[in-house]
Amino acid sequence: MSQEGKRRMKDFWTLHVPLVLVLALCTVATVIEYQRAQEGVGRAWVYTFQWPIIGLFAIVIWNRYRKHGNLTTWFTDRYRKRIEAYRAEAEAVEDPEPAPVDPDEVAWRAYVEDLQRQDRTHEPPPRSL
In a domain, 80, yes or no: no
Q: What pLDDT sits at residue 91?
A: 77
pLDDT at 70 over 90: no
- Report whether 29 contacts 47 (CB < 8 A): yes
Residue 56 confidence (pLDDT) above 80: yes
Which 3 state secondary structure label does DSSP give 96? coil
Any domain includes 79: no
Calculate mean pLDDT across residues 73-81: 80
- The pLDDT of residue 124 is 63
Q: What is the pLDDT of residue 93?
A: 73
pLDDT > 90 in the chain, percent: 37
pLDDT value of position 26: 97
Across residues 78-101, what is the average pLDDT? Answer: 78
Domain that holds residue 25: 1-71
Q: Please, what is the average pLDDT of the chain?
A: 85
Query: Which range, of 20-24, 55-59, 107-111, 120-124, averages the lowest pLDDT?
Result: 120-124
pTM greater than 0.95: no
Q: Is residue 46 part of a domain?
A: yes
The answer to whether position 109 is within a domain reads no
58 domain residue, yes or no: yes
Q: How many domains does the chain have?
A: 1
